[in-house]
Amino acid sequence: MIKTIAVFGATGMLGVPVVKELINEGFHIRALVRDIEKAKKLLPHSVEFISGNLKNEQDIENTLVGAEGVYINLSVKPNDKKNQWLAERDGLNSIIKKSKIAGVQRIALCSSLVKNHNKSSGFHWWVFDIKEQAVNSIKTCGIPFTIFYPSSFMENFDKGDYVQDGKIMLAGESKHPMYFIAGSDYGKQVAYSFKKLLNENKHYPVQGLEAFKADQAAEIFKKNLSEKDLSIKKMPIRLLWFLSLFSSKMNYIYKILTALNKYPEKFESEITWKELGKPSITLEEYSRKATLKQ
């Protein structure tokens, strides 16, 4: 039985709601964090914080002490370079190595649904290559695993890349609806997976109740946000491409928005809902309680 879960990526936009739901389900959480004081402001007081970083394998080992489960939520950052040390590649491989030694019973990874757009329609991005490598590393690690493939998160409108300087920033034309899901609904599914699954290896698409194109979702968020008036700014994708030539951050945003705009997402979460529970939060409901990041 899994009682303690080591979490890597606990203080991120998605790590926070997942950790809260894991705690709600009775799990003890050990989280590797760089800044304990900052982490204490984001996460429940019951979290056991381990100070350190993924580049130090001893810190990973310390985090795994007494943990039967592992949850990983890592990503390539906008200014990262392909050939440098990367958390989602090198850090993840260190976690796997140390998890084998520690006798971890189950390992779970947050991946991505839109990464499936890679190498299609002329689109190829090394960041999505890293995500695929991460999936393969988990699949071949020898530890029973769960891999989650989430659609777009509602948190992107108040805590993520869509909101910049108090505005929702869009670019290009969103061609296909996305099944936006709230982080807490996803967290409930993660928590239930650790309670239910034993030695199975599982892959779960993660999608919300309703599908919207990006501009439709932005309008719903703006209409229902109670905190303040919010403007929506839309940039021509060619202008974003031009800016991407001079900035690694703009290049990252250009690539991810291009993929999101063009990926023909289909609903494929029937089994996820059946086995881990159906989401309950609509985008309208989420928007009413949202608070914009500063």
Residue 226 lies in a domain: yes
Residue 269 lies in a domain: yes
Res 294: pLDDT: 57
Q: Residue 102 pLDDT more than 80?
A: yes
Res 54: pLDDT: 97
- Here the CATH number for the domain that contains residue 68 is 3.40.50.720
Rounded Cα distance between 275 and 82, Å, is 37
Average pLDDT over residues 193-210: 97
Q: Residue 205 pLDDT more than 90?
A: yes
What phi and psi values does residue 29 have, to the nearest 5 degrees?
-115, 130
Residue 176 lies in a domain: yes
Average pLDDT over residues 159-172: 83
Average pLDDT over residues 158-183: 89
Give the length of the chain: 294
pLDDT digits (tens, 9 = 90+) for 120-142: 989 999 999 999 999 999 999 99
Number of domains in the chain: 1
Percent of the chain at pLDDT > 90 equals: 88
Res 162: pLDDT: 81
Average pLDDT over residues 61-74: 98
* DSSP secondary structure of 33-50: ES-HHHHHHHS-TT-EEE
Residue 294 lies in a domain: no
The angle subtended at Cα 163 by Cα 89 and Cα 38, nearest 5°, is 60
Rounded Cα distance between 155 and 163, Å, is 10
pLDDT digits (tens, 9 = 90+) for 9-44: 999 999 999 999 999 999 999 999 999 999 999 999
pLDDT digits (tens, 9 = 90+) for 179-195: 999 999 999 999 999 99
Q: Residue 292 pLDDT more than 80?
A: no
The alpha carbon of 263 is separated from its chain's Cα centroid by a whole number of angstroms, namely 18
Domain with 152, as residue range(s), is: 4-289
Res 291: pLDDT: 82
What is the Cα Rg of the chain in Å? 19
Residue 53 lies in a domain: yes
Residue 106 lies in a domain: yes
pTM for the structure as a whole: 0.96
Residue 194 lies in a domain: yes
Q: How many Å from the N-terminal Cα to the C-terminal Cα in the chain?
A: 40
Res 230: pLDDT: 83
Residue 255 lies in a domain: yes
